[in-house]
């Protein structure tokens, strides 16, 4: 597993110099598109479709153009300061409403507003996006430090109430079994020329968590509403993990010397969260949490709802980001068809029953492509940063063990390879223990803390090379 997860370190990235300059963004009424080269750019599909409709009502041509446009749709990538759009979009906005109710003596956050009215729609979402921009701009000053920047006084009270509701929503999610892997994300800091000058952990404070909690509530509300109408729809699904993979993980944790009093039979989200909770104070928690995440199935888009295991949600969709995700745009299109145009006739239902399975499969594949591209760019920028730190020494933790060496992760999440040829003595890979053992009886294992020196880095190859200069084997076993 570790080998598969790290194999891109030893490969060269093929570079495509699509455009040296940042793409210009052109907004035309409800449509937004990224123009890479305006002079050579072909006429957009949406304009061709409009012309065909005006000149001749040819449904066959329109359907063909729809298929061509759909094949270009996917996910918008946020790649280290640049925006790469992969779809044209039209936003049909939707409000998410949260209310606090009293259930006995405990406050409970519930979602309200299953009736959707067009009159309130745009004003509510305008306020939502204003709050989102506000949170990003003031960097949690109000919520975390109780500092109200000048000009934002009118938002402070509302934000604090929203934060209280978000905490209640989070508590409810946790009680039903929501799995929080608590994994850090790396953030690349760049200078004015786009060169990486630092790598830090991305902050996940109350402001970011508030947005996430409200978006999950909105997604569940929308999905439940259409599911109860028994109409074709796009769901975000996440199946139960393979019991054998969870058993392998539990056995590996036991080999590290930790006891897990959790049964892997009939695994539930709550049991998965119990496993994480029991490991949370261990030094290897981040590595083990990532391993457990990789042992689970991947969430995908589907027209067949089976629930979302990781969120412990019975009905879920992706609704809140139609600007950057094609599946969300499909959801908005369906909502408009069903709820605003009242198109719930059999021809419409049959059309989407046939269309959505392939569209969901396509969206799932595009999501994988987008995530792969983001990871490759992140690796490249980390290598760029480390090019100016060759010779420096750091303390890190062994995050991966393969038959060709070790991967060591630094506190700022930069990861580099210690090639097996640089280790002392002749080393043997022991896959069951995820360890390398030398003929001098030195053992290098997952989660072990080591001291390393940077021996090489290449932005072009997206590689970082370390050598071990010391290790600490004081594992706190219980």
Low-confidence ranges of the chain (pLDDT < 70): 1-139, 471-478
Note whether 408 and 416 are within 8 A (CB). yes
The H or E element spanning position 396 is: strand 393-402
Q: Could you tell me whether strands 415-419 and 463-472 are parallel, antiparallel, or unpaired per DSSP bridges?
A: parallel
pLDDT in tens, 2-45: 444 444 444 444 433 333 333 333 333 333 333 333 333 444 44
Buried b (16+ CB within 10 A) or exposed e, 34-43: beeeeeeeee
What's the rounded Cα separation, in Å, for the pair 354 and 432?
46
Return all residues near 446 (Cβ < 8 A) that are at least 6 apart: 2, 256, 284, 287, 398, 399, 400, 401, 434, 435
What does the alpha-carbon distance between residue 302 and residue 440 come to, in Å, rounded to a whole number?
53
Q: What pLDDT is recorded for position 475?
A: 43
CA torsion angle 139 142 144 145 (round to 10): 110
**Distances in Å between the alpha carbon of 330 and those of 32, 165, 189, 302?**
16, 29, 34, 12
Return the SS3 of 189: strand
Report the SS3 class of residue 399.
Answer: strand
Q: What is the pLDDT of residue 117?
A: 46
Alpha carbons 358 and 382: distance in angstroms, whole number: 37
Tokens 């509701």, located at residue = 165
DSSP-assigned letters across all residues of 411-459 = TTS-EEEEEGGGSSS-EEEEGGGTEEEETTS-EEETT-EEEEEEEEEET
Phi, psi at 456, each rounded to 5°: -175, 155
Tell how strand 449-458 and strand 415-419 pair up. unpaired
Give pTM, 2 decimals: 0.74
| pLDDT attached to residue 262 | 75
pLDDT digits (tens, 9 = 90+) for 339-351: 888 999 999 999 9
- Distance of alpha carbon 193 from alpha carbon 250, whole angstroms: 47
**433 contact partners, CB below 8 Å, separation of at least 6:** 255, 445
Residue-wise pLDDT for 94-112, tens only, equals: 333 333 333 444 444 445 4
Q: What is the distance between the alpha carbons of residues 440 and 428, in angstroms, rounded to a whole number? A: 11
Query: CB count, 10 Å around CB of 130?
Result: 11
Termini Cα distance of the chain: 26
């Amino acid at each position: 597993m570790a080998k598969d997860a790290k194999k891109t370190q030893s490969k060269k990235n093929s570079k495509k110099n699509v455009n040296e300059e940042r793409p210009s963004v052109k907004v035309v009424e409800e449509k937004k598109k990224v123009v890479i080269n305006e002079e050579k750019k072909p006429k957009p599909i949406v304009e061709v479709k409009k012309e065909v409709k005006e000149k001749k009502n040819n449904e066959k041509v329109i359907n063909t153009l729809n298929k061509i446009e759909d094949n270009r749709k996917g996910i918008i990538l946020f790649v280290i300061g640049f925006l790469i759009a992969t779809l044209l979009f039209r936003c049909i906005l939707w409000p998410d409403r949260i209310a606090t109710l009293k259930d006995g003596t405990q406050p409970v956050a519930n979602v309200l507003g299953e009736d959707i009215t067009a009159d309130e729609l745009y004003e509510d979402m305008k306020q939502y996006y204003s709050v989102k921009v506000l949170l990003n701009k003031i960097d949690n000053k109000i919520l975390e430090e109780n500092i109200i920047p000048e000009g934002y006084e009118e938002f402070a009270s509302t934000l604090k109430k929203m934060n209280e509701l978000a905490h209640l929503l989070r508590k409810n999610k946790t009680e039903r079994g929501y799995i929080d892997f608590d994994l850090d994300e790396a953030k690349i800091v760049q200078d004015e020329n786009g060169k990486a000058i630092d790598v830090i952990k991305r902050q996940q404070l109350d402001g970011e968590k508030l947005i996430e909690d409200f978006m999950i509530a909105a997604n569940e509300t929308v999905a439940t509403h259409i599911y109860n109408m028994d109409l074709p729809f796009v769901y975000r699904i996440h199946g139960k993990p393979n019991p054998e993979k969870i058993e392998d993980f539990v056995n590996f944790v036991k080999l590290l010397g930790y006891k897990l009093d959790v049964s892997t039979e009939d695994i539930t989200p709550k049991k998965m969260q119990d496993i994480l909770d029991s490991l949370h104070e261990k030094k290897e928690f981040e590595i083990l949490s990532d391993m457990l995440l990789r042992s689970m199935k991947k969430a995908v888009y589907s027209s067949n709802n089976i629930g979302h295991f990781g969120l412990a949600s019975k009905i879920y969709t992706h609704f809140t980001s139609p600007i950057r995700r094609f599946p969300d745009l499909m959801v908005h299109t369906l909502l408009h068809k069903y709820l605003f145009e009242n198109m719930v006739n059999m021809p419409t239902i049959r059309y989407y029953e046939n269309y959505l399975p392939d569209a969901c499969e396509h969206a799932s594949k595009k999501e994988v492509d987008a995530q792969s591209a983001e990871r490759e760019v992140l690796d490249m920028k980390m290598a760029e940063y480390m090019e100016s730190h060759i010779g420096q020494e750091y303390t890190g933790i062994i995050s991966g063990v393969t038959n060709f060496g070790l991967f060591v992760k630094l506190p700022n999440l930069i990861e580099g390879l210690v090639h097996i040829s640089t280790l002392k003595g002749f080393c043997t890979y022991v896959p069951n223990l995820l360890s390398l053992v030398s003929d001098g009886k030195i053992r290098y294992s997952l989660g072990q803390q080591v001291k390393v020196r940077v021996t090489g880095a290449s932005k072009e190859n997206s590689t970082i090379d370390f050598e071990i200069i010391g290790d600490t084997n004081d594992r706190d076993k219980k």
